[in-house]
Amino acid sequence: MFKVNVKSEIGNLKKVLLHRPGNELLNLTPDTLERLLFDDIPFLEVAQKEHDAFAQAMRDRGIEVVYLEDLMADVVADPEVRAQFIDEWATEAGVYAPAWRKIVADFLNSEYKDPKALVEKTMTGITMSEIEYDRHASLADYVADPTSMLVDPMPNLYFTRDPFAMIGNGVSINHMYSVTRNRETLYGKYIFEKHPDLTGTPVYYDRASHFAIEGGDILNINDHVLAIGISQRTRPAAIDELAHNVFGDETSTIDTILAFDIPNSRAFMHLDTVFTQIDHDKFTIHPGILGPLTVYELTPDGKGGVRVNRNDSSLEEILSHYVGQSVELLQCGAGDRIAAEREQWNDGSNTLCIAPGSIVVYQRNNVTNDFLYKKGLDLIEVPSAELSRGRGGPRCMSMPLWREAL
């Protein structure tokens, strides 16, 4: 039996994967913000309260919330897996010298024996000052700055949407665009290989593949249609490879992949920052993408390959065709350009749909939210002053594992 089931963006959400922001945010500094993809330093205590409110809002609606750190803790409770994970994690963090990998493993094994504490520490990162080592043993150690980070933090982990993404009954374990986020996918590899609640799930993309693809670009429209953004984060060649694997899997029912070519910019980093489905016939959209959008259709060619065509119809026509009824595109900022740009920057279009017409939104986007209320949607507003500093909204902060059929 399948362990994940996500065949739409709007079917009743039953189970979702989150990561509670932790001490990794305390290792962000002004100099590392750009490389670590943050725009400011969040106040951790408040970010955690906001995140807890987000999780509670979902529990109050009967949704089971599971945390990445708990699934990983179950996996590394096995001593052999723990040793293998620490070694792989340290290598991917740039600890290449075998002597240093041993120093790091000894440090983690003596100070972080508890499996969950270990997992959280691997997310937090390690500073040189935490480790005892003989500076005189090598030139590299002698000249190293003792106040620097030995292993970088992974501050973007609370955006669980991106490093691995459910597609129907399978998963894409992504190759990320940035070095910092690529390290996050290691947790995906371990939980999908080894956690009893997930193992056996068909894998449609391998993190070792060459081309970048991120979960924020992957939208399940229905059991036949998948939409994927070609964006700053996702390359067309990755979509080709994924299409090949999805069409080739006899358990998958997907027969069309729509590739949306969106402008390449930080504000529009993923498809879900400009476009999400919120009801059978409604989508939120950032007006900024309406002009420059090109849509390609990928279908199986009947000979084991893929055929590609460009669809020159309007976005509304394309979506109406594929969802089987006429659709309404609800603009972020309610049609006002300044409000649209300000609120899209704070993820006004990035809603998490938990049932047809019921969406979790950031409270701060009041122009867009008022407009959505007037359109009859059920809004669950969550506080977002600190969480939004990471440039992701409710959809980015959640990975559905199970949705009911529509």
Whether residue 396 lies in the annotated active site:
yes
Closer CB to ligand CIR, residue 194 or residue 364? 364
Binding residues among 203-242 for ligand CIR as defined by CB under 6 A: 216
Please list the alpha-helical segments (H only) found in 112-168: 115-124, 139-143
E strands of 169-248, at which residues? 170-173, 203-205, 218-220, 225-230
Binding mask 320-349 for ligand CIR (x = CB under 6 A): ------------------------------
Of 7, 124, 125, 114, residue with least CA distance to 70: 114
SS3 state of residue 250:
coil
User: By the 8 A CB rule, do 108 and 10 touch?
Assistant: no
Q: Residues 268-307 vs ligand CIR: string with x where CB under 6 A?
A: -xx-xx----------------------------------
* Least distance between ligand CIR and beta carbon 68 (Å): 15
Helix, strand, or coil (residue 400): strand
Instruction: Tell me the number of residues near ligand CIR by CB under 6 A.
Output: 16
Beta strands in 126-181 (DSSP E): 126-127, 149-151, 164-167, 170-173
Two structure tokens written together for 31: 């100099």
Judged by beta carbon, residue 86 or residue 349, the one nearer ligand CIR is: 349
Q: Is 185 exposed, middle or buried (0-12, 13-18, 19+ CB in 10 A)?
A: buried
Listed ranges 117-125, 135-143, 189-197, 384-392: which one lies at the site for ligand CIR (CB under 6 A): 384-392
Query: Which one of the spans 53-61, 70-78, 141-149, 388-396 is the region binding ligand CIR (CB under 6 A)?
Result: 388-396
Answer yes or no whether residue 389 interacts with ligand CIR by CB under 6 A.
Answer: no
Find the binder of ligand CIR among 168, 392, 394, 400 (CB under 6 A). 392
Q: What is the largest CA-CA distance in the chain?
A: 71
**348-387 CB burial, b ≥16 within 10 A, e <16:** bbbbbbbbbbbbbbbbbbebbbebbeeeebebbbbbbebb
Residue of 396, 397, 399, 401 marked active site: 396
Site string for ligand CIR, 33-62 (x = CB under 6 A): ----xx------------------------
Closer by beta carbon to ligand CIR, 171 or else 306: 171
Site string for ligand CIR, 58-77 (x = CB under 6 A): --------------------
The whole-angstrom separation of Cα 6 and Cα 127 is: 39
Phi and psi (nearest 5°) for 211? -95, 145
CB 37 within 8 A of CB 156: yes
Q: Which stretch binds ligand CIR (CB under 6 A): 111-119, 198-206, 222-230, 267-275?
A: 267-275
The answer to whether 364 contacts ligand CIR (rule: CB under 6 A) is: no
Helix H or strand E encompassing 105: helix 98-111
Closer residue to ligand CIR in complex, CB, 232/331: 232
* Dihedral of the alpha carbons of 394, 399, 404, 406, in degrees to the nearest 10: 60
User: What is d(CA 71, CA 55) in angstroms, rounded to the nearest whole number?
Assistant: 16
- The least distance separating ligand CIR from the CB of residue 274, rounded to whole angstroms, comes to 9
Pairing status of strand 64-67 against strand 358-362: unpaired
**Residue 123 Cβ, how far from ligand CIR at the closest point, in Å?**
15
Query: For the window 146-185, what string marks contact with ligand CIR as x by the rule CB under 6 A?
Result: ----------x--x-xx------------------x----
Beginning with the edge strand found earlier in the chain, give each strand of the sheet holding 64-67 in spatial order: 64-67, 13-18, 399-403
Told to check if 387 binds ligand CIR by CB under 6 A, we report no
Nearer to ligand CIR, 189 or 233 (CB): 233
Residues that bind ligand CIR (CB under 6 A): 37-38, 156, 159, 161-162, 181, 216, 269-270, 272-273, 390-392, 396
Please give the positions annotated as active site: 396
